[in-house]
């Protein structure tokens, strides 16, 4: 059974940093691209960042490029999102989601339960 478990969310001040983690199990982690998506309270879904399964190629939404860094540790089956220079509009539930292909550019067949990030003073 595929499981994705996010952690690391919380309250952070504007300009601060936070690192999210996503522990994956139930599939061969290094053969799939992985992604972070977010959903602001009462709003729609936004793809944030993705990373390929093999060569570690990374991709970002314009809204976070230069502030967020996605990475993965295939030996630990874990995905990360390092977030810095956080702003109020980064407040959202952040989801980890599995891609259906190695390189990405696909849809998301499994999602974690989400972790809430609140940026406020």
Distance of CA 92 to the CA centre of its chain: 12
CB of 51 to another protein, least distance (A): 11
Q: What is the strand order of the sheet 78-83 is part of?
A: 3-7, 18-25, 78-83, 68-73
Cα separation values, 85 from 1, 19, 63, 96, Å:
36, 12, 12, 21
Return the residue of 80, 81, 95, 119 that touches another protein, per CB under 8 A.
95
Which lies closer to another protein via its Cβ, residue 61 or residue 82?
Answer: 61
> Is there a contact between 5 and 115 (Cβ–Cβ < 8 Å)?
no
x/- letters, 33..72, toward another protein (CB under 8 A)? --x--------xxxx--x--------x-xx----------
Return the residue of 26, 40, 88, 109 that touches another protein, per CB under 8 A.
109
> Which alpha helices (H) appear in 6-119, and where do they start and end?
none
The footprint of another protein on this chain (CB under 8 A) covers a number of residues equal to 21
Decide if residue 5 touches another protein (CB under 8 A): no
Return the residue of 34, 36, 104, 117 that touches another protein, per CB under 8 A.
104
């Amino acid at each position: 059974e595929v499981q994705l478990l996010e952690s690391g969310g919380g309250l952070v001040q504007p300009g601060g940093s936070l690192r999210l983690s996503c522990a994956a199990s139930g599939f061969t982690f290094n053969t799939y691209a992985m992604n972070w998506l977010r959903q602001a309270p009462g709003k729609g879904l936004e793809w944030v960042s993705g990373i390929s399964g093999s060569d570690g190629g990374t991709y970002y939404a314009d809204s976070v490029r230069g502030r967020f860094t996605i990475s993965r540790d295939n030996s630990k089956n874990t995905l990360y999102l390092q977030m810095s220079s956080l702003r109020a509009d980064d407040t959202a539930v952040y989801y980890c989601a599995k891609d259906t292909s190695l390189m990405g550019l696909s849809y998301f067949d499994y999602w974690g339960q989400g972790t809430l990030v609140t940026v406020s003073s």
